[in-house]
């Protein structure tokens, strides 16, 4: 079974994230959207809210599930017996950052290779980021065109 983990904080999930999962869904038997917890980070939305947003957003995708984890993504992948990490790329800066992480992950998993699969975000979504959405929400701007309906609170 080809299973991919799509890790992130998803604070909140955006249409950019949706774009990646929607396009990757036919490529994998299962995609686990895994919300990573970082004790150093302050989130706008609780873990429960983020999980709910994602579950409702992908309710029509039978091969997409939602989970959460603490620690290294590769350790989570090993615990789930997953060989693929799915990542979206919006721009060249994302590529450089994600490339370094992917190479580190490969080094950490020499015994059992975990491959990172990159998908380019569709051009109409490449400017969207969770941090931009949080900023717009903070200042009471109209963020609704940047997120799936489940996040439009």
Residue 107 scores a pLDDT above 80: yes
Residues 45, 43: Cα–Cα separation, whole Å = 5
- Other Cβ atoms less than 10 A from the Cβ of 71: the count is 11
The domain total for the chain is: 1
List residues forming the annotated binding site for substrate: 9, 41, 73, 87
List residues forming the annotated binding site: 9-10, 17, 41, 73, 87-90, 98, 125-131
- Give the model's confidence band at 39: pLDDT under 50 very low, under 70 low, under 90 confident, else very high: confident
- Report pLDDT digits (tens) over 48-86: 999 999 999 999 999 999 999 999 999 999 999 999 999
Q: Which residues are part of the catalytic machinery?
A: 17, 41, 90, 130
Q: Please give the residue range of the domain that contains residue 146.
A: 3-151
Average pLDDT in the chain:
94
Instruction: Determine the average pLDDT of the residues in 106-110.
Output: 83
For residue 1, count CB atoms less than 10 angstroms from its CB and return exposed for 0-12, middle for 13-18, buried for 19 or more: exposed
Q: What are φ and ψ of residue 50, in 5° steps?
A: -65, -40
Residue 113 scores a pLDDT above 90: no
> Where residue 32 sits, what CATH number does that domain have?
3.40.50.620
List residues forming the annotated binding site for ATP: 9-10, 17, 88-90, 98, 125-131
- Report pLDDT digits (tens) over 119-147: 999 989 989 999 999 999 999 999 999 99
pLDDT of residue 111: 73
């Amino acid at each position: 079974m080809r299973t991919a983990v799509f890790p992130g904080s998803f604070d909140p999930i955006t249409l950019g994230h949706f774009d990646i999962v929607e396009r990757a869904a036919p490529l994998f038997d299962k995609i686990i959207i895994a919300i990573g917890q970082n004790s150093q980070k302050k989130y706008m939305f609780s873990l429960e809210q983020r999980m709910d947003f994602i579950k409702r957003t992908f309710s029509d995708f039978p091969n997409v599930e939602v989970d959460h984890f603490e620690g290294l993504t590769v350790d989570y992948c090993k615990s789930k017996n997953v060989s693929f990490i799915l990542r979206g790329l919006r721009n060249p800066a994302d590529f450089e950052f994600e490339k370094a992480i992917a190479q580190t992950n490969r080094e950490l998993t020499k015994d059992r290779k975990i491959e990172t699969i990159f998908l380019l975000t569709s051009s109409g979504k490449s400017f969207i980021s969770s941090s931009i959405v949080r900023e717009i929400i903070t200042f009471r701007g109209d963020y609704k065109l940047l997120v799936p309906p489940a996040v439009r609170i």
